[in-house]
């Protein structure tokens, strides 16, 4: 008799048809997997999956954010305003936000690993093409296409982990994936700063990051174990997916988590977008390489993501999310000082709070999304990157009008809204999600 991965018999015609859709190597667990074929903490398969998703997180964020430290260079070399320069990132995250809604639905029908692999390879190639863009308009078009390519990674990676990893190891695995995004975000910013300072050309810097993205994509393809618990959703047209999306908003917690994603990323990107302008201004007078080195602070995101994930399991996700937002507010307050040391310390505290909050919220979405994890994750990340695009771009207008005071005021208001949302999440009763 056929049995599914949990050891239960497969009996109905529908179950058999869905079971037969699984790849052949998903039918029998590897000997290094945990019980039922799930990825168990401490096994070789679990470690390979973590390394693969770390590489995916690294590539996604390095390719996406490599332009952030170059914004002052774009303004100087191309004669464009800070708000216009911020479009190099905002068009990518804006397209990414909408495209992920479709990517999550496609992965529910077509699977996880292949779509993520193609997405990573395409994004690496597009980054190389961007280095040869003949003008600013064509550069922005390529960056928009890159957002489309990268849409096949973040939501699907979260869904893969939620499906394939045993619950006991999910928090650590999700934290390590988010840590990979932190490392990628740091490397993309620091390396582009160093390369543009050494070569004098932003094109060389972007091309170098594109090569690293292709290497990471190949590592991901080789390392990631195949899905063993993914079951394709059947149905004609968009109706099943629209129904699933609508169901997510009937859950008591998911809409607040979507809001948290919008707030967290919008605040974070806005601070980092205009920190370079401020530090290179006469007040501090730092060079491009020195500003790029500030982004080494991103390394704090790796331990803080994992630590907040563990802490959330011990004292509850809600109280821990509140603490993360409070840290962001405290860090923001320090950045308003006029000395370099308190500004850098403030960015560090702000960064720890952001990665801790994002790790908590993204893992919480995977847990509450249940049967539609990829779509729940894609809605969370839609909100996340919409915040990056909208709040990040508007911050440029306030920077031009009122300098750092305008930027800090905007981010402070946004985070106070996020604080209220975190309190609402903390008040949720400990009960299973209504949508499953």
Residue 65 pLDDT more than 90? no
The predicted structure's pLDDT at residue 111 = 65
Q: What CA–CA distance (Å, rounded) separates 399 from 381? A: 26
Q: What CA–CA distance (Å, rounded) separates 365 from 378? A: 10
pLDDT band at 161 (very low <50, low <70, confident <90, very high): confident
Q: How many CB atoms lie within 10 A of CB 171?
A: 23
Matching CATH number, 41-224+247-426, of 3.10.20.600, 3.20.20.70, 1.10.3720.10, 1.20.1250.20 = 1.20.1250.20
Where along the chain do its domains lie? 41-224+247-426
Residue 404 pLDDT more than 80? yes
Q: What CA–CA distance (Å, rounded) separates 327 from 324? A: 5
pLDDT in tens, 349-389: 999 999 899 888 887 887 776 656 667 877 887 898 889 88
Mean pLDDT within 68-96:
89
Query: Greater confidence, 161 or 10?
Result: 161
The predicted structure's pLDDT at residue 384 = 86
What is each CA distance from 303 to 159, 172, 293, 353, 371, in whole angstroms? 22, 10, 19, 12, 30
Q: What CA–CA distance (Å, rounded) separates 299 from 430? A: 33
Q: How many CB atoms lie within 10 A of CB 412?
A: 15
pLDDT in tens, 298-327: 778 778 877 887 788 788 888 999 999 999
The predicted structure's pLDDT at residue 249 = 74
Coil, strand or helix at 257? helix
The predicted structure's pLDDT at residue 21 = 45
């Amino acid at each position: 008799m056929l049995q599914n991965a949990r050891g239960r018999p497969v009996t109905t015609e529908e179950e058999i048809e869905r079971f037969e859709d699984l790849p052949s190597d998903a039918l029998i667990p590897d000997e290094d997997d945990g019980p039922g074929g799930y990825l168990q903490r401490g096994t070789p398969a679990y470690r390979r999956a973590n390394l693969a998703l770390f590489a995916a997180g690294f590539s996604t964020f390095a390719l996406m954010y490599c332009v952030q430290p170059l914004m002052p260079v774009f303004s100087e070399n191309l004669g464009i305003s800070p708000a216009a320069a911020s479009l190099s990132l905002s068009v990518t995250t804006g397209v990414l936000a909408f495209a992920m809604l479709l990517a999550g639905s496609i992965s529910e029908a077509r699977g996880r690993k292949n779509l993520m692999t193609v997405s990573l390879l395409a994004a690496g190639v597009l980054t190389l093409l961007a280095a040869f863009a003949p003008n600013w308009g064509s550069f922005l078009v390529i960056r928009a296409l890159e957002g489309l390519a990268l849409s096949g990674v973040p939501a699907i990676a979260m869904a893969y982990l939620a499906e394939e990893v045993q619950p006991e190891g999910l928090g650590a695995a999700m934290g390590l994936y988010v840590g990979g995004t932190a490392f990628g975000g740091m490397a993309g910013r620091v390396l582009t700063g160093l390369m543009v300072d050494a070569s004098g050309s932003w094109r060389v810097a972007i091309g170098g990051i594109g090569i690293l993205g292709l290497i990471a994509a190949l590592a991901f393809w080789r390392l990631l174990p195949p899905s063993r618990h993914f079951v394709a959703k059947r149905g004609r047209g968009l109706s099943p997916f629209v129904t699933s999306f609508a169901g997510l908003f009937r859950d008591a917690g998911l809409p607040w988590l979507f809001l948290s994603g919008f707030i967290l990323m919008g605040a974070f990107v806005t601070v980092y977008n205009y920190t370079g302008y401020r530090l290179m201004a006469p007040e501090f007078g730092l060079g491009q390489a020195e500003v790029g080195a500030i982004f080494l602070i991103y390394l704090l995101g790796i331990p803080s993501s994992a630590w907040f994930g563990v802490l959330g399991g011990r004292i509850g996700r809600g109280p821990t999310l509140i603490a993360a937002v409070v840290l962001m507010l405290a860090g923001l307050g320090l950045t308003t000082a006029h000395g370099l040391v308190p500004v850098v310390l403030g960015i560090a505290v702000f960064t720890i709070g952001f990665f801790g909050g994002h790790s908590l919220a993204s893992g919480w979405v995977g847990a509450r999304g249940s049967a539609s994890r990829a779509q729940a994750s894609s809605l969370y990340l839609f909100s996340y990157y919409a915040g990056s695009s909208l709040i990040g771009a508007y911050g440029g207008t306030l920077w031009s009008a009122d300098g750092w005071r305008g930027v800090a005021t905007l981010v402070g208001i946004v985070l106070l809204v996020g604080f209220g949302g975190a309190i609402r999440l903390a008040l949720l009763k400990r009960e299973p999600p209504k949508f499953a």
